[in-house]
A = this chain, B = another copy of it.
Amino acid sequence: MITVLRIGHRAGRDPRIATHCALTSRALGAERIVYTGEKDSDMEKSVRKIVDNWGGPFEITYEKSWRKVLKDSGAKSVHLTMYGLPLQNEISKIRKARDVIIIIGGEKVPMEVYNTVDHNVAVTSQPHSEVASLAVFLHEYQQGKGLDKKFKNAKMSLVPQKCGKKIIN
């Protein structure tokens, strides 16, 4: 079971980034995303619409306290941060855990998060994107198998094409 926890969502400022995080979580193998910060019903709706059309299982839920989410999860916790230890050195240890909760932040992640989690992991020690870090982490954690994830109860799916688009409804 892979959970993503996104902390500090700002409804006005980053609905698209949040949606990208949620859809990346779903597409690359996570079963759910929990977010904290500002509740954002429009963002939730747009994610649920994708799940409804393209299949699941995938859940998005809002929680007030990241502390509670971490405490209740029981999974190995991995905070993705440019300040952490290199992914390429840490990933084999993390893969041993059956359940993982991946924490990604907006701009200001409290130092308490760094101190609470099992691993602070860097997808490069450079500033870039929580969406990119999440994608590479999910890909590596599953050793590429995230690309082959199957979805259930999909109304729509694609047939891969060399050129053009083929959608099945």
A115: interface (CB < 8 Å): yes
A78: interface (CB < 8 Å): no
Shortest Cβ gap from A84 to chain B (Å): 6
Restricting to A32-62, which residues have a CB under 8 Å from any CB of B? Answer: 50, 54
CA distance in complex: A50, B126 (Å): 9
Contact partners of A122 in chain B: CB under 8 A: 158, 160
Q: Find out whether the CB atom of B160 lies under 8 angstroms from the CB atom of A125.
A: yes
Contact partners of A86 in chain B: CB under 8 A: 147, 160
Q: Find out whether the CB atom of B16 lies under 8 angstroms from the CB atom of A54.
A: no
Tier of interface size on chain A: 35 or more
A26: interface (CB < 8 Å): yes
Contact partners of A87 in chain B: CB under 8 A: 147
Q: Find out whether the CB atom of B147 lies under 8 angstroms from the CB atom of A28.
A: no
Supposing A16-B17, A132-B134, A157-B125 touch, asked if A163 and B120 sit within 8 A by C-beta, the answer is: yes
- A83-B164, A84-B162, A124-B149 known; 13 other A-B pairs, CB under 8 Å? A16-B16, A17-B20, A27-B127, A28-B128, A28-B136, A50-B127, A84-B161, A85-B160, A86-B147, A86-B160, A87-B147, A125-B158, A132-B132
